[in-house]
């Protein structure tokens, strides 16, 4: 597959055309941003680690019949993906109270929720990704009711699959973000699943092993990303 023109450069990835209009090359960068781009930096080898983690997780989800955009790994930083018509809604799944859940609803930090929470945010940097619900998404013409139902079903299923995947690796999956799109009228999981888009806490020590180390200046960021890659690839059992 030939790498064509750069179609889009985002905060963490570059998307390139290929000689097949149905496929893109997704290239992972080392650039890191937080607080909607207000904080900027780089995390050495993050692109390589996130590419490998995402590839492994996408293949794992495919084995549970979740359709993903992942086709194959092309290099350390590049994967071939299906070209999706991205639905501009970020889907956040939460298992443990932290961040805005604590601030907004006064929950106890670190408390396991009785049931996973599914939230939607409008993907719009200029508006700071405001929270929406499925009615907003339909009313704004972003997705049909059937598509929102499929997205919710996949989000819930992905959470159940990944929660136990990470528990076997002694990691608590606190919360994470998903993006979906359309490929030939089917809903398909896109983007990435990595320490950039998930909160991971070590099961025994509670140590943060994700982008919160960058957001909160906790240090040893590279080491945390490598640790997650190691655990994703080997259960240790
Ligand atoms: P951002 O746009 O938030 O800065 P990234 O740097 O991660 O984020 O850029 C990747 C962009 O590509 C995102 O806008 C994402 O929605 C989009 N994207 C992810 N997967 C696909 C895909 N398979 N097809 C088309 N676009 C995709
Ligand atoms: N998230 C993400 N990209 C975003 C927004 C959120 O990857 O643009 C992920 C984030 O890493 C975390 C979860 O989604 O795992 C919840 O993030 P949010 O910013 O909503 O956190 P909170 O408001 O709880 O601090």
CB of residue 11 inside a 6 A radius of ligand 1:
yes
Q: How far is residue 210's CA from residue 25's CA, in Å, rounded to a whole number?
A: 25
Determine the distance separating the centroid of ligand 1 and the alpha carbon of 191, expressed in angstroms.
6
pLDDT of residue 235: 77
Among the atoms of ligand 2, which is closest to the Cα of residue 102? 24
| pLDDT tens digits for range 38-55 | 999 999 999 999 999 999
Determine the distance separating the centroid of ligand 2 and the alpha carbon of 197, expressed in angstroms.
7
Closest protein CA for atom 20 of ligand 2: 100
pLDDT of residue 54: 98
pLDDT of residue 236: 62
Closest protein CA for atom 11 of ligand 2: 197
For the CA of 36, the nearest ligand: 2
Q: What is the mean pLDDT of the segment spanning 72-98?
A: 98
0.85 cut: is pTM over it? yes
| pLDDT tens digits for range 175-202 | 999 999 999 999 999 999 999 999 999 9
Check: CB of residue 143 under 8 Å from CB of residue 89.
yes
| pLDDT tens digits for range 4-37 | 999 999 999 999 999 999 999 999 999 999 999 9
Which bin fits 37, alpha (ψ -120 to 50), beta or left (φ > 0)? Answer: left
Determine the distance separating the centroid of ligand 2 and the alpha carbon of 60, expressed in angstroms.
22
Q: How confident is the model at residue 237 (pLDDT cuts 50, 70, 90)?
A: low
- 2: burial class by Cβ within 10 Å (0-12, 13-18, 19+)? exposed
- Torsion on CA atoms 183, 189, 191, 197, rounded to nearest 10: 160
Q: Between 31 and 237, whose confidence is greater?
A: 31
| pLDDT tens digits for range 196-223 | 999 999 999 999 999 999 999 999 999 9
Strand runs labelled E in the chain: 3-9, 13-18, 23-28, 31-34, 39-42, 70-73, 78-82, 85-96, 112-122, 131-132, 171-183, 186-189, 198-202
For the CA of 10, the nearest ligand: 1
Query: Is the pLDDT reported for residue 1 higher than 90?
Result: no
Q: How far is residue 131's CA from residue 104's CA, in Å, rounded to a whole number?
A: 12
| pLDDT tens digits for range 115-170 | 999 999 999 999 999 999 999 999 999 999 999 999 999 999 999 999 999 999 99
What domains appear along the chain, each with residue ranges and CATH number?
3-82 (3.30.200.20), 85-221 (3.30.470.20)
CB of residue 179 inside a 6 A radius of ligand 1:
yes
Q: What is the mean pLDDT of the segment spanning 55-63?
A: 98
């Amino acid at each position: 597959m030939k790498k064509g023109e750069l179609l889009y450069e985002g905060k963490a990835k570059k998307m390139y055309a290929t000689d097949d209009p149905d496929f893109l090359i997704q290239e992972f960068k080392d650039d890191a941003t937080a607080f909607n781009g207000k904080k900027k930096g780089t995390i050495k080898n993050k692109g390589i680690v996130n590419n490998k983690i995402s590839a492994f997780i996408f293949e794992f989800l495919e084995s549970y019949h979740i359709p993903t955009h992942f086709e194959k790994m092309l290099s350390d930083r590049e994967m071939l993906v299906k070209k999706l018509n991205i639905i501009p809604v970020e889907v956040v799944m939460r298992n443990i109270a932290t961040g805005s859940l604590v601030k907004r609803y006064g929950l106890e930090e670190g408390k396991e929720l009785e049931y996973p929470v599914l939230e939607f945010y409008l993907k719009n940097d200029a508006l700071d990704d405001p929270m929406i619900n499925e009615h907003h998404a339909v009313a704004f013409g972003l997705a049909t009711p059937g598509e929102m139902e499929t997205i919710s079903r996949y989000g819930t299923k992905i959470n159940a699959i990944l929660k136990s995947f990470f528990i076997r690796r002694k990691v608590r999956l606190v919360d994470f973000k998903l993006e979906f799109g359309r490929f030939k009228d089917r809903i398909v999981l896109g983007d990435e699943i990595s320490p950039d888009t998930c909160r991971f806490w070590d099961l025994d020590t509670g140590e943060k092993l994700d982008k919160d180390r960058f957001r909160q200046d906790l240090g040893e960021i590279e080491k945390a990303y490598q640790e997650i890659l190691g655990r994703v690839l080997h259960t240790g059992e």
